[in-house]
């Protein structure tokens, strides 16, 4: 008897229709609306002009700052988000529902509200501002503020994906490793993390991409200072006022990065899940 073929839930089986119903044509305007502006944006700037604009000091500063801050943010998210995801996936505790909701809240919260919240909490006149000033720590309008804004906005994407990955692991596999003499760290390193690696990688990619595109919370909490807090999205905003070529160049870069991220998440990761479970 043939074994059933596993299919990733992230990629449902395509339904082949001999004749598509006419009402499906209603999807064409929305698809065109989502596609045409991005296609026009990409082809507005020629490759030669794009390469020339990449040497602009403002573009170079924005790209390097974005890469540096997003990788630091991702490291913080991985270190703090992995145990939080495991906690939410495996344990019941008082107010768990509230904690779960608070973790997801930044994904639906307007980024500007997140920026105001960070400023009220950690600004010079905020709740923790005076205490931080006494310690010689000034966060607002610095690179640290950029990282904090990125972590606040992007962390839920990793935590949610990681929690789903941890919840999908059969606890008996971890228990079997423990019975064979493995301690808690060895079980985590050799059993739990490898089995959840697909979800962890997917969440990390999404979190990094979201941090790279963060704008609202950053401009309020960190400002828009070239070379210090001006990330790629903020440089695009400034480019509309002073140099449209900068805005177009960085916009094309972000579209390309976002497209590659979606390719990884939608194509590579589901195939990895099939190999893991096949």
Average pLDDT, the chain: 85
Q: Count up the domains in the chain and report the number.
A: 1
19 within a domain of the structure (yes/no): no
Cα angle for residues 68, 262, 115 (degrees, 5° grid): 50
In three-state secondary structure terms, 124 is: coil
Closest CA to 212 of 131, 140, 151: 151
**Does residue 180 have a pLDDT over 80?**
no
206: domain range? 74-277
User: What confidence tier does 31 reach under pLDDT thresholds 50, 70, 90?
Assistant: very high
Digit-coded pLDDT (tens) for 97-135: 999 999 999 999 999 999 999 999 999 888 998 999 899
Q: How much is the average pLDDT of 145-163?
A: 95
The confidence band for 170, taking pLDDT boundaries of 50, 70 and 90, is confident
Is 113 a member of any domain?
Answer: yes
Q: And the tokens for 54?
A: 């990449």
In a domain, 65, yes or no: no
Residue 213 lies in a domain: yes
Rounded to an integer, what distance in angstroms lies between the CA atom of residue 250 and that of residue 244? 10
62 part of a folded domain: no
Residue 15 forms part of a structural domain? no
Q: Are 17 and 216 in contact (CB under 8 A)?
A: no
Instruction: Note whether residue 174 is domain-resident.
Output: yes
Where residue 183 sits, what CATH number does that domain have?
1.10.3720.10
């Amino acid at each position: 008897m043939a074994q059933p073929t596993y299919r990733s839930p992230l990629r449902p089986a395509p339904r082949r229709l001999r004749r598509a119903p006419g009402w499906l044509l209603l999807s064409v305007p929305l698809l065109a609306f989502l596609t045409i502006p991005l296609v026009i944006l990409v082809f507005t700037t020629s490759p030669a002009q794009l390469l020339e604009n990449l040497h602009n000091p403002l573009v170079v500063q924005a790209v390097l700052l974005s890469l540096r801050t997003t990788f630091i943010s991702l490291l913080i998210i991985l270190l703090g988000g992995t145990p939080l995801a495991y906690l939410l996936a495996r344990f019941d505790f008082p107010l768990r529902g509230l904690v779960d909701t608070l973790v997801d809240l930044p994904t639906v919260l307007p980024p500007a509200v997140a920026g105001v919240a960070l400023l009220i909490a950690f600004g010079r006149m905020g709740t923790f501002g005076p205490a931080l000033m006494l310690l010689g720590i000034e966060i607002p309008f610095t690179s640290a503020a950029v990282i904090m804004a990125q972590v606040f906005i992007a962390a839920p994407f990793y935590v949610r994906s990681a929690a789903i990955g941890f919840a999908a692991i059969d606890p008996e596999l971890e228990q079997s490793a423990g019975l064979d003499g493995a301690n808690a760290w060895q079980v985590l390193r050799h059993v739990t993390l490898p089995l959840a690696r697909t979800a962890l990688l997917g969440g990390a990619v999404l979190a990094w991409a979201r941090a790279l595109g963060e704008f609202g919370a950053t401009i309020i909490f960190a400002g828009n200072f070239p070379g210090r807090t001006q990330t790629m999205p903020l440089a695009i905003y400034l480019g509309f006022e002073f140099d449209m070529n900068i805005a177009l160049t960085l916009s094309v870069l972000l579209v390309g990065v976002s497209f590659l991220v979606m390719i990884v998440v939608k194509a590579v990761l589901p195939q990895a899940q099939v190999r893991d479970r096949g």
